[in-house]
Chains A and B, each alone.
Chain A
């Protein structure tokens, strides 16, 4: 298997190193199976010119952090509607840190009460998008916060 780093380097070369596409992993941590939002966002980001990998449902934080590193992504978008976000989101950030990949931008979304947001941000989730957020907002946020 060709390493994702290698592929990433190649695409940078091909694109002259400036026009590289932003790579995003959209992931569903935990047991929640509601992935309408995850799929809609994946497609919207793709339409906005990003490369998007969607993990599918029922992923552990370990699987997500491994996939993020293997795929060489710039952004991890976590979606959880089951209320398990306070346990699962920080774990992903923690694992990325342990694997020296803390430069990956981690975002979250789903049914996340406002009171939980400060704690999640302290744990390293850079932004939380609540119900009603538009894909446009998310695209803009990623474009402004990822350097390629």
Chain B
């Protein structure tokens, strides 16, 4: 069979193709994906001769999960439509959440401001100008109570983009649930809790890597016993890609970080099958449609193989790469913002053809500011259009078996594995980050990408071709400057009303725990319950762990 196809392929190249190509050259001498993978003109069964269906693809819900993690995928239920949202105060964000839930969003995703992410209260001098800007400001449990007011925490699942201070925000979430009469063991959601990608991308670290890893493994251990339905980490390639990496680097660096977390947890004495099923992932959906679909599929297969082969996981759930996707923010243009709606639709479709478990679609105006209510609704509608009108959700992995998709899936897996081997040789992801290797790799890709745009090797519609004279976008969301004062006032009131003796006591207990080896989550929970502030808790840990300084 393969022989016959090969002969026919060669014949076609020499005759039909040659006739055309000798007269009219193709657009480019060669075509490449973002990961520098050479794209063939045509893929055929010849490219897949060494593929073994059962080992390499298998069936949905079974190892190696190439075709999807659930046996019915979107025929069972659609992915979770989860728009990342948060701005200004807990009061305003609470209203936005209710608006999104009213319009059919199925899960919450909390964006925190930078002060909250880096462990400063809103009255800290370093937070000047930042309070409430990129997300909601949370100083104490009081703010979290307001944020989820009227939202039953036993009914929604909540994802929180929080890393260095993840333990504090998780503790606050548990404490709010308690006040609603909801027990921790029914809570569903995710904390990002992925500190390793913060050093080379995104930048919201506080403590040095090893101390950060201790907090993370403490969270794994705590949740396994008390919050068993919670995703304890969302190992994120999203920001690595936003920082400029290629698709292959996104997979490789993310899974290398994943390996580091698994190793840290095992070193802390956790059994591989006791925590691995709660690991989750987060990827970017970028412009190169086929490469992206292949990327999701290859990440799923590669992780499954790593968990089984390298870590000897016994349970299939431990090998399952479940992931959230966000469309690529860095592809949004300030020029002709309506074009972004179309970009986002393609990126969303790629994520869904790649089998994502949940999705955030970006809004058209995000090259200017946080999205307006209307833009967010359109972004959510984009997902609903794919779900209800396109028909792609009615079958599982519809592009599985496509010669091009399977070939790229294989190539991305192979190239990612090469990177992982290189990182292993350096002593693992933490070492590779500390030495600056990951940062250099990402910066190099980012620079090449920009050069391609400026040399017009890469066309961005509306930016370096098809430009028009246009007015700047109107009606963008503005964070009122009064937010900072309002938030500071609220913080002062809470501080005034709380029991200072208890705050002091719980912080002292936390400090002792940090100096020793006991799990940090219970003392943090005690502290948030008595309204110790996020800044006070972070400072207590800073005193013991120190702070990371960029090299």
Do the beta carbons of A83 and B367 come within 8 Å of each other?
no
**With A32-B203, A36-B242, A36-B330 in contact, do A43 and B128 touch (Cβ < 8 Å)?**
no
Decide if A34 touches B203 in the complex (CB within 8 Å). yes
Task: Give the Cβ gap from B208 to chain A, nearest Cβ, in Å.
Answer: 15
A131-B367 in contact (CB<8A): yes
Cβ contact within 8 Å between A57 and B203: yes
Are B130 and A30 closer than 8 Å at their CB atoms? yes
Q: Distance in Å from the Cβ of A115 to the closest Cβ of chain B? A: 7
A40-B447 CB under 8 A given contacts A82-B134, A136-B454: yes
Residues of A within 8 A of B472 (CB): 113-115
Q: Does A31 contact B (CB under 8 A)?
A: yes
Residue contact A111 to B368, C-beta cutoff 8 Å = yes
With A31-B115, A39-B443, A57-B203 as known contacts, state yes or no: A132 contacts B133, CB within 8 Å: no
Taking a contact as CB atoms under 8 Å apart, the answer to whether A31 and B114 are in contact is: yes
Complex Cα distance A60/B125, Å? Answer: 10
Q: Helix, strand, loop or mixed for chain A's interface? A: loop
Assembled-state Cα–Cα distance A36/B478 (Å): 24
Count of chain A residues near B, Cβ 8 A: 32
List, in ascending order, chain A residues with CB within 8 A of B114's CB: 30-32, 82
Judge whether B272 is part of the interface by a CB distance below 8 angstroms.
no
State whether A44 touches B450 (Cβ < 8 A): yes
Q: Which of A87, A115, A134, A135 contacts B129 (CB 8 A)?
A: A87
Cβ of B425 under 8 Å from chain A: no
Answer whether residue B479 sits at the interface, using C-beta atoms and an 8 A cutoff: yes
- In the bound complex, do residue B463 and residue A132 qualify as a contact, i.e. CB atoms below 8 Å apart? yes
Q: Which chain B residues lie closer than 8 Å to A82 at the CB level?
A: 114, 130, 133-134
Residue from A32, A113, A132 within 8 A of B333 (CB atoms): A132
**B118 part of interface (Cβ distance < 8 Å):** yes
List 30 A-B residue pairs with CB atoms under 8 Å apart, sorted by A's residue number.
A30-B129, A31-B114, A31-B127, A31-B130, A32-B134, A33-B201, A33-B202, A34-B203, A39-B443, A39-B446, A39-B447, A40-B244, A40-B446, A40-B447, A40-B450, A43-B443, A43-B447, A58-B118, A82-B134, A83-B133, A83-B479, A84-B130, A86-B129, A88-B128, A111-B367, A113-B476, A113-B478, A114-B368, A132-B334, A135-B454
Chain A contacts to B: CB under 8 angstroms: 30-36, 39-40, 43-44, 56-58, 60, 82-88, 111, 113-115, 130-132, 134-136
